[in-house]
Amino acid sequence: MALFGAHVSSAGSILNTFERAREIGAEVFQFFLRSPRVWRWNGVSNQLVKEFSLRLKDFGKPVMVHAPYLLNLASPKEELRRRSVEVFVEELSFCDMAGIDFYNFHPGTAKGIDEDRALRNIILSLEEVLKRYEPKRTFVLLENTAGERGDMGKSFSELGRIISSFPGVRIGVCLDTCHAFAYGYEINTERGFSSFLLEIDRTVGLERIRAVHANDSKFPAGSRKDRHEHIGEGYIGFKGFENLLRHEHLGSLPYYIETPKVGDMDVVNLSRLRSLTQL
Ligand SMILES: [Zn+2]
């Protein structure tokens, strides 16, 4: 059975996330450890790690931390790449110590370099991260992207190339439905969905997909535009989510919505996803 939840704010304290998840009836949730567009971070005290992990044990369902958008493990600028590795290690070690299931990140952006070099930089950066901290509990999840402005990890062959460089490591993929569709995977048609599954199978392997970011798309397939829409109101439509939820493996994962935060739409979007499991 799939589990349904949302991205929630960690404003004030990361301990507030549990209550915010409860308020919208989320069975699972995702949050940022720090403001996602600034580098500065005060870190977390040992006391806070302890308190968070106690609440998490009580919560009992998979929780995901989303890395800041500023990170770019693919960057040719050594200073930026080094800083990204630094933040990654900081956050991954927190997640692991607190007992968090998933640490999700966008693989990186090819700015001013070709894609092959960008992929090699991502692999090099991850090697540096794992040399400094190899998680025992947390899975590192690469999020597929829409391929906007040089964003890497848009295809499963790119993700597969990164993942296959780390045998034996807790590494996998978080499937973002909006990004996959915007890149060109037509998950809302029978044909598109089966070729999508086939490609995953041949590249990363279906069992590597550990979680889903469930978002509809404001733009058509192949637009490469990353704009999230409410479930069923975008170009993916209910059919696309139904395809995922009916699949033996994909339909057993935790789903996190990252849809626009307006009114009580989180509650509405979650109930739309749940209703699709009852067809
Ligand atoms: Zn996402």
pLDDT single digits (tens) 60-89: 999 999 999 999 999 999 999 999 999 999
CA of 112 to the centre of ligand 1 (A): 24
- Supply the mean pLDDT for the chain: 96
Is the pLDDT reported for residue 39 higher than 90?
no
CA of 170 to the centre of ligand 1 (A): 20
CA of 177 to the centre of ligand 1 (A): 8
Q: What is the mean pLDDT of residues 136-141?
A: 98
Q: What angle do CA 27, 32, 35 make, to 5 degrees?
A: 150
Is-catalytic flag, 247? no
Is-catalytic flag, 91? no
CA of 40 to the centre of ligand 1 (A): 22
Is-catalytic flag, 51? no
What is the pLDDT, as a whole number, of residue 273? 98
Beta bridge partners of 171: 140
Active-site hit among 143, 158, 216, 229: 143
Nearest to 99 by CA among 133, 127, 60: 60
Amino acid at 221: A
Is-catalytic flag, 228? yes
List pLDDT tens digits, range 143-196: 999 999 999 999 999 999 999 999 999 999 999 999 999 999 999 999 999 999
First to last CA, the chain: 14
How many Cα atoms sit within 13 Å of 90 on the Cβ side? 18
List pLDDT tens digits, range 170-183: 999 999 999 999 99
pTM across the whole model: 0.97
Amino acid at 160: G
Is-catalytic flag, 37? yes
Is-catalytic flag, 226? yes
What is the pLDDT, as a whole number, of residue 279? 65
Specify the CATH architecture of the domain 3-276.
Alpha-Beta Barrel (3.20)
Is-catalytic flag, 249? no
What is the pLDDT, as a whole number, of residue 211? 98
Active-site hit among 161, 228, 230, 272: 228
Q: Which residues surround ligand 1, an ion (CB under 5 A)?
A: 176, 213
List pLDDT tens digits, range 112-124: 999 999 999 999 9
Q: What is the mean pLDDT of residues 215-239?
A: 98
Active-site hit among 19, 69, 115, 190: 69
Q: What is the mean pLDDT of residues 19-31?
A: 98
In the chain, pLDDT over 90 holds for what percent of residues?
Answer: 95
CA of 143 to the centre of ligand 1 (A): 7
Is-catalytic flag, 69? yes
